[in-house]
Structure 1
Amino acid sequence: MTQALTDADDLQSEDFGFGTQIRKSPYFKATVRWGAKGFSVYNHMYIPRDFGDPEQNFWNLVNDAILCDVGVERQVEITGPDAAKFTQMLTCRDLSKMAVGQCKYILITDADGGMLNDPILLRLDENRFWISLADSDILLWAKGMALFAGMEVTIREPDVSPLQLQGPKSGEVMKALFGDSIMDLKYYWLRHVELDGMPLVVSRTGWSSELGYELYLQDESRGDELWEKIMAVGKPFGLKPGHTSSIRRIEGGMLSYHADADMNTNPYELGLDRLVNLDMEADFIGKAALRKIKEEGPSRKQVGLVIDGDPLNGPNTSYWSVKKDGVVIGKVTSAVYSPRLEKNIALAMVAAEHAVLGAEVQVLNKSGLVNDPGTSAAVIVERPFYDPNKKIAAS
């Protein structure tokens, strides 16, 4: 659900009318002032989705830097003497060597091995973790698991609201904000800092496949102040307000939960075997199911597609069937035109026996964005489509 507004000059924050049951981040009014024209709903909150031309937003990201309100990335905080043991129970990734100050991309699976979320895990202290969520109600899942786990843990949603500062010049902006020492922060590590008395956790993470940082504000009353401070400091570096880029994340093969994965999708279908450790001593939810899936092999696999035809007019808003010799073999989950690659690129889930690089397939596009007949030729390719080893983000 997206609400687009036509008269941005007269826009007031009250004009967005999803209702009081949809929460606003501490940066909401600032994003409206800075040109947000449309929002959608993510984790029961508003998230900016429109600052004008999405292609220009992409170029702002890959050439300079953008600041994004991602307060919708709600945190599940796990504390207590059994915090580490409980957190390990929630994920199939081995956390035994995770240090204080480290971040990890993890998968949260259910008893059938299906994915409930693919968040970033932050270890702030020995017995304090944050799960920085994609779009699903893991707070409720964790509370339910804690009730029956018999462990000494406390589960809550803390006063934490992240911003994403992403792009090649994001490091320069961070240095101007925090000094030269911030440049020592390694990829997927975090640091506790203050900015004009505002308590922050800063991490070298982000949903862009570019160099980037996330700034986790721990005082929602100062959200407007933090936004304006960053924008002012970033102006000499070309910093622009922006939104998470579908173009860049699909180029980078990054998942969007509910689009590319859900509770009926398992890690092996997505090629995320590296995040599943069946040999670790610790037990976790879904371990037996994932062992069985590995032994039998997944019935589907995610692939990359390059789709022929005119440039797509924005991302797909429905799943498109993928056919081989007239038979449906899967679906396109995320598709977009990449102006950098000058190609229509997509992530798709297809039957495992058809997941062959170089194979030619047909995409049936019901929304008519590719060609008038609604069918386009496509070829299965490697993913990610750009910077496959994530050298840009990790540099």
Structure 2
Amino acid sequence: MPLKAELQPSNAIDHVHTGILQTPFHSRTSALNINQAWANWNGYASALSFHDEHIEYFATRNTTAVFDVSPMRKYRFTGADAEAMLNRMVTRDVSKQKVDTVAYNVWCTDAGRVIDDGTLFRLADDDFMLCCADPCLDWFLLAAVGFNDVSISDISDDIASLALQGPTSCALLKALGFDGIDNCKPFQIVRFPFGSGELMISRTGYTGDLGYELWVDPADAVALWDALFSTGELYGIQPMGEDSLDMARLEAGFIAPDVEFHGALGTVNRHHDHSPFELGLSWIVNFKKGHFTGREALLKQKESGEHRHLLRLDIEGNKPAEHSILYAGENCEKEIGYVTSAMWSPVVKANIAYGLVEAKYVKGPIWAEIYHQKELRWVRKVARCTVVNRPFWAPDRAKATPPPDC
């Protein structure tokens, strides 16, 4: 008797159009996604763009844009040893972090190579949430060996989350009745009743502009989306995808995994991983707090100064230096690094990039070899690069409390 083919479940998803899994907001994002352009982020359908990435990008700079960050991995650390365990794992001093605040962090191997970066939420004295782009549970469990009173759980699917970014984002939240949200300071957490439970709002984001991240029970996700877009029509609300977010984060001076750096546990070739110092993250490496994973190796690297540097570059001309090789010398005789991200910035009105450069060439001059098309013919251009020591985009409203109702 021939075997009977198994039927697909009624809720099966066509992976060509919508990815493998649906986030709690998918019924709304898919309806708005004219392009039906999706990426696979941790097994979930994540919109690349909805209509035009430039329109979505300008919403982050002029009105309000919404990005579904639900596919981000979220982990809960609880117990009397949670603080000590995390303090041993990450490079910042967790003991100094106050309750209801968020801190950017990285964690490294014993060799001082970055495994991943993320945001650490301190919800109580013995309760933390750590959010990162890629799965890290195995490393967290390994890092907890020797700590008796710490529980680690993957809560990624238990929380739906949206990034609400742009100059009218605070005004929109106030219009929704979240009284006092304008007093929320950068990297602070506040809570409001919503739906069947609670809405947690953190003044955080990945655009460098005024913005918030909203954390809610998946059962209340659609209601939250509908409330935002119903009231948000008066505030220029737009959904945004990964392409526009990537533009905004580069202007803001934020690094991206698998773009600026490769996680140390996933690299194949030697020296293709990175240290915090190479990525410009020396400001979050605290050698005063005592031992943490990678401390000895990082201290040696700091003392030697012999490490690559990820530089913010302002490049002459208007042709983005995507995938460019960087050189030293007027005649470009020495290859010294490469561009990781590049774009023409609409708000900065500059040709900007991130470039990873060998230490001894940091002070320049640095040149980028750019290839671009002119009437279908490829043209080679060598452009001078100027090192920029601050984010390309950092408006005052991003830090102002209360922020203006732009």
- TM bucket, shorter chain: 0.7 to 0.9
Distance of 1:369 and 1:278 partners within structure 2: 54
Distance 1:370 1:199, change over 3 A: farther
> 1:168 touches 1:212 (CA, 8 Å); kept in 2?
yes
Q: 1:116-148: CA deviations, max 9, x gaps?
A: 1121110011111111112x22222112322x2
> What's 1:323 paired with?
327
Distance 1:360 1:290, change over 3 A: closer
Stretches of structure 1 lacking an aligned partner (at least 5 in a row) = 1-12
For the pair 1:273 / 2:282, whether they are aligned, the reply is: yes
> What's 2:4 paired with?
none
> What's 1:114 paired with?
113
Distance of 1:321 and 1:18 partners within structure 2: 35
Distance of 1:80 and 1:343 partners within structure 2: 49
Distance of 1:383 and 1:231 partners within structure 2: 38
> 1:360 touches 1:379 (CA, 8 Å); kept in 2?
yes
Shift of 1:79: 0.9
Map residues 48-87 of structure 1 onto 2, 5 A cutoff: 48-87=47-86
Q: 1:309-330: CA deviations, max 9, x gaps?
A: 4444xx94xx432122232210
C-alpha RMSD over aligned residues: 2.6
Task: Please say which of residues 286-295 and 33-42 is displaced more in the overlay.
Answer: 33-42
> 2:195 touches 2:223 (CA, 8 Å); kept in 1?
no
> 1:362 touches 1:376 (CA, 8 Å); kept in 2?
yes
Task: Please say which of residues 226-235 and 300-309 is displaced more in the overlay.
Answer: 300-309
Distance of 1:44 and 1:90 partners within structure 2: 27
> What's 2:344 paired with?
337
SS at match of 2:357: strand
Paired residues, number = 373
Distance 1:369 1:46, change over 3 A: farther
Shift of 1:152: 1.6
Q: Which amino acid aligns with 1:49?
A: L
Shift of 1:384: 3.8
Shift of 1:248: 1.8
Shift of 1:47: 1.8
Distance of 1:188 and 1:376 partners within structure 2: 41
Stretches of structure 2 lacking an aligned partner (at least 5 in a row) = 1-11, 265-272, 401-406
| Identity of matched residues, % | 27
> 1:331 touches 1:349 (CA, 8 Å); kept in 2?
yes
SS at match of 1:376: strand
Q: 1:234-256: CA deviations, max 9, x gaps?
A: 11111111135222211111111
Task: Please say which of residues 162-171 and 180-189 is displaced more in the overlay.
Answer: 180-189
Shift of 1:171: 0.2
> What's 2:95 paired with?
96
Distance of 1:14 and 1:44 partners within structure 2: 12
Task: Please say which of residues 155-164 and 29-38 is displaced more in the overlay.
Answer: 29-38
Distance of 1:349 and 1:367 partners within structure 2: 25
> What's 2:210 paired with?
211
Q: Which amino acid aligns with 2:396?
A: K
Distance 1:127 1:367, change over 3 A: farther
> 1:170 touches 1:213 (CA, 8 Å); kept in 2?
yes
Query: Which protein shows a greater Rg?
Result: 2
Map residues 217-296 of structure 1 onto 2, 5 A cutoff: 217=216, 219-244=217-242, 245-262=245-262, 263=264, 264-281=273-290, 283-296=291-304
> 2:48 touches 2:241 (CA, 8 Å); kept in 1?
yes
Among 138, 141, 145, which residue is 2:139 paired with? Answer: 141
Please report the TM-score for the alignment, with normalisation by the length of structure 2. 0.85
Map residues 31-50 of structure 1 onto 2, 5 A cutoff: 31-35=29-33, 37=35, 38-50=37-49
> What's 1:372 paired with?
378
Shift of 1:53: 1.9
Shift of 1:368: 9.4
Distance of 1:384 and 1:54 partners within structure 2: 25
> What's 1:300 paired with?
308
SS at match of 2:383: strand
SS at match of 2:180: helix
Q: Which amino acid aligns with 1:64?
A: T
Distance of 1:77 and 1:311 partners within structure 2: 44
Q: Which amino acid aligns with 1:181?
A: G
> 2:82 touches 2:126 (CA, 8 Å); kept in 1?
yes
Distance 1:140 1:289, change over 3 A: same
Distance 1:344 1:369, change over 3 A: farther
Distance of 1:96 and 1:187 partners within structure 2: 19
Distance 1:44 1:144, change over 3 A: farther
> 1:368 touches 1:374 (CA, 8 Å); kept in 2?
no
Distance of 1:382 and 1:90 partners within structure 2: 31
